[in-house]
């Protein structure tokens, strides 16, 4: 009888990817090529720590119009203009209005490292 393994999809931030890959690299002697590239990317572009990213995502999720996927995208990109926010929501069914965009930018600014 075969054991059934279910794969579950989970959204993770760049900061979490960085932590996961660093942990794997300590457990093994060497990362796979793809893992090395992913770690380099995460180290270069993850501007917040995993905790800061989680806090930012939590604050964004409190907004009615921000879904989990958008919250993670916003946390990874840390947009600082209204056009950046519009680009994140471009393919979504819901487009935030100017006030909602300003709220998102204020939350990002509050959590961002300057």
Domain ranges of the chain: 14-45, 50-111
pLDDT confidence tier of residue 2, bands split at 50, 70 and 90? very low
| H runs (alpha helix) in 1-114 | 14-27, 33-45, 50-61, 68-77, 82-88, 98-111
Distance (Å, whole) CA 75 – CA 4: 34
Check if the beta carbon of residue 85 is closer than 8 Å to that of residue 105. yes
Own/partner pairs, 14-22, CB within 8 angstroms, 24+ separation: 14/41, 14/42, 14/45, 14/46, 14/53, 14/76, 15/42, 15/46, 15/48, 15/49, 15/50, 15/52, 15/53, 16/50, 16/53, 17/42, 17/46, 18/42, 18/43, 18/46, 18/50, 19/50
pLDDT in tens, 67-102: 999 999 999 999 999 999 999 999 988 889 999 999
CATH architecture label of 50-111: Orthogonal Bundle (1.10)
Give the pTM: 0.82
Distance (Å, whole) CA 41 – CA 33: 12
Supply the pLDDT for residue 22.
Answer: 92
Q: Pull the structure tokens for residue 50.
A: 């995993």
Supply the pLDDT for residue 113.
Answer: 59
What is the chain's mean pLDDT, rounded? Answer: 89
pLDDT, mean of residues 4-26: 83
pLDDT, mean of residues 31-60: 93
Supply the pLDDT for residue 1.
Answer: 38
């Amino acid at each position: 009888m075969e054991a059934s393994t279910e794969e579950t999809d989970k959204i993770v931030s760049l900061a979490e990817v960085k932590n996961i890959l660093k942990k794997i690299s300590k457990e093994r002697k060497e990362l796979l090529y793809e893992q090395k590239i992913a770690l380099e990317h995460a180290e270069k572009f993850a501007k917040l720590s995993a905790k800061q990213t989680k806090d930012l995502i939590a604050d964004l999720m409190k907004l009615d119009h921000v879904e989990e996927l958008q919250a993670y995208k916003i946390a990874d990109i840390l947009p600082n203009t209204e056009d950046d926010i519009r680009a994140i929501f471009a393919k979504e069914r819901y487009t935030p209005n100017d006030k909602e965009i300003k709220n998102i930018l204020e939350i990002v600014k509050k959590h961002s490292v300057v």
